[in-house]
Amino acid sequence: MRVLVSGGAGYIGSHTVLSLVASGHDVVVVDDFSNSKPTVMGRVESLSGTHVPVHAIDLTDAEKTERLFAHERFDAVVHFAGLKAVGESVAKPLAYYRNNLDSTLSLLEAMRRHDVPRLVFSSSATVYGEKAPVPYREDYDFLSSSSPYGQTKVMIERIMADAAAATDGLKVALLRYFNPVGAHPSGQIGEDPQGIPNNLMPFLAQVAVGKRDKLVVFGDDYPTADGTCERDYLHVEDLAAGHVAALQHLDAMAEPVRAFNLGTGTGTSVLQMLHAFERAVGRELPYEVGPRRAGDLAAFWADPTRAQTELGWRAEKTIDDMCADTWRWQSANPQGFPGA
């Protein structure tokens, strides 16, 4: 298939582009580079051994999005593009609602006008909110989120379901994934957060490479095995493979919209991840315990049964794989990707 990947220069998007190309798909990327760097695509082309066309377009611009679809033919869209920092979304809710919803509406409208019938959406486990029973299952109906970022995912899932109900032939896979970490085994592409990392793994990597003094563990008095929060960490390579599996399953779906959890089904604590990263680096890393962070849940993880059964997908890589690949990327690229 000829696949448009929105946000394809981003962390998960770039790994998925490689996975799509390796699976024989013809890939085109659209990205406004607001949270990624153009130099990513040179490395993607080098690793894939093929040219990947890139359109530097802000998808909130409906006219430019329409022109893209008018001049290119696509069989499917994989939609990553959007703002994604939870804390920033609390401070700038209107920017998040406008960017994430407008870009999605532009895409859906262009897809409808040009008869593009397949869509894979990068959703998030944050749609389960604070009250869903653990492990999270896709049939939980009371979707919500405590952050504007998460609420945009909830809203977009609803928009896509309504669009599919009103558009004959449109099939949509909603991929709710948990905590993507790791990097390509080459060490050439990986996570390159702008500013202070919001997530544990890139923060750990920056401590290990000397960019940060120490890790702060937000609370060690949770009702978990070691008192620190537990999350379902998933290697980005496994996650990318999940997008390919979902894309290739769309035509066989009996219903127009189907949600899938992409996770390992296992919780890993902050301290367990810290010690795994120490094994990858070969030395202890400095950390201190701070107060709990507002809004953090004690523990959650996926029930990945549906993805295993229907997509034939399962996470293969271990926590040690995730840490080793992250360290290979970060140690080779201590400042992340070079600027344009």
The closest alpha carbon to 325, from 165, 189, 203, belongs to 189
Q: How far apart are CA 126 and CA 149, in angstroms?
A: 9
Average pLDDT over residues 158-163: 98
Buried b / exposed e along 283-293 (16+ C-beta atoms within 10 A): eeeebeeeeee
> How many other CB atoms sit within 10 Å of the CB of residue 60?
18
Q: How far apart are CA 134 and CA 140, in angstroms?
A: 11
pLDDT digits (tens, 9 = 90+) for 2-35: 999 999 999 999 999 999 999 999 999 999 999 9
CB neighbours of 109 closer than 8 A, spacing ≥ 6? Answer: 62, 65, 66
Average pLDDT over residues 60-72: 98
CB neighbours of 155 closer than 8 A, spacing ≥ 6? Answer: 101
In degrees, rounded to 5, the angle at the alpha carbon of residue 122 between the alpha carbons of residues 120 and 125 is: 130
Compute CA distances 314 → 17, 230, 240, 256, 267, whole Å: 19, 20, 11, 23, 16
DSSP annotation of 34: S
pLDDT digits (tens, 9 = 90+) for 169-186: 999 999 999 999 999 999
Tell me the HSE value of 121 on the side-chain side, using a 13 A CA sphere: 32
pLDDT score, position 340: 52
pLDDT digits (tens, 9 = 90+) for 184-236: 999 999 999 988 888 999 999 999 999 999 999 999 999 999 999 999 999 99
pLDDT digits (tens, 9 = 90+) for 285-330: 999 999 998 889 999 999 999 999 999 999 999 999 999 999 999 9
Q: How far apart are CA 259 and CA 282, in angstroms?
A: 40
Catalytic residue positions, numbered: 149
What CATH fold (topology level) applies to the domain 200-231+266-308+318-332?
A: UDP-galactose 4-epimerase; domain 1 (3.90.25)
| Total-model pTM | 0.97
Query: What top-level class would CATH report for the domain 2-181+232-263?
Result: alpha beta
Residue 166: pLDDT band with limits 50, 70, 90? very high
Q: What percent of the chain has pLDDT over 70?
A: 100
Which residues lie across from 29 on neighbouring strands? 5, 54
Kindly report the backbone phi and psi dihedral angles of residue 318, in degrees, each rounded to the nearest multiple of 5, phi listed first. -90, 170
Cβ-based burial of 70 (10 A; exposed 0-12, middle 13-18, buried ≥19): exposed
Domain-by-domain residue ranges, the chain?
2-181+232-263, 200-231+266-308+318-332
CB neighbours of 189 closer than 8 A, spacing ≥ 6? Answer: 14, 15, 18, 40, 43, 44, 47, 183, 329
pLDDT digits (tens, 9 = 90+) for 227-280: 999 999 999 999 999 999 999 999 999 999 999 999 999 999 999 999 999 999
